[in-house]
């Protein structure tokens, strides 16, 4: 139960080469076996790498509303890696542009799926 809560705030992404984890010397064999056992109990692929969600204090300084971040996180759209490019952090203006673009695309996708749904399309045509 504690293990599930501990890992419930992670977003996962699959690495290109899953055999990397088997060959990595940083992981001791027992540690790796424990990871695989825990992740198996959670129903998660053990070859996924964690990317934590945006929840740091300095994100507040960027002026992004919590509701926007929560909405984007719900649909796995915003990741911590979106805040920098290369070795340099993005400026507030660049981040706002990217976030707005993602929100617009997300809203368009929701609207498109709503309108193309057969029952909704029939209702729209009748009205």
**How far is the C-alpha of 99 from the C-alpha of 19, rounded, in Å?**
34
Which long-range contacts link 36-40 to residues 24+ away (Cβ below 8 Å)? 38/3, 38/7
Give residue limits of the domains in the chain.
Answer: 1-52, 55-127
Residue 40 in tokens: 């198996």
**pTM for the whole structure:** 0.25
- Which distant-in-sequence residues (6+ apart) come within 8 Å of 62 by Cβ? 92, 95
- For every one of its 127 residues, what pLDDT tens digit does the chain have, with 9 covering 90 and above? 444 444 444 444 444 455 545 555 555 566 667 767 776 777 665 555 444 444 455 455 555 566 666 665 665 544 545 554 555 566 667 767 776 776 666 655 555 565 556 665 565 555 5
């Amino acid at each position: 139960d504690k293990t599930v809560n501990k890992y419930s705030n992670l977003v996962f992404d699959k690495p290109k080469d899953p055999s990397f984890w088997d060959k990595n010397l940083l992981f001791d064999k027992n540690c790796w076996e424990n990871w695989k056992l825990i992740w198996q109990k959670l129903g998660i692929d053990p070859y996924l790498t964690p990317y934590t969600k945006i929840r740091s204090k300095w994100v507040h300084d960027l002026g992004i509303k919590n509701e926007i971040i929560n909405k984007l996180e719900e649909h796995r759209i915003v990741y911590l890696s979106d805040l920098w490019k290369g070795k340099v952090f993005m400026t507030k203006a660049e981040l706002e542009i990217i976030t707005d673009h993602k929100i617009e695309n997300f809203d368009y996708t929701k609207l498109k799926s709503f309108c193309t749904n057969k029952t909704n399309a029939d209702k729209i045509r009748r009205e």
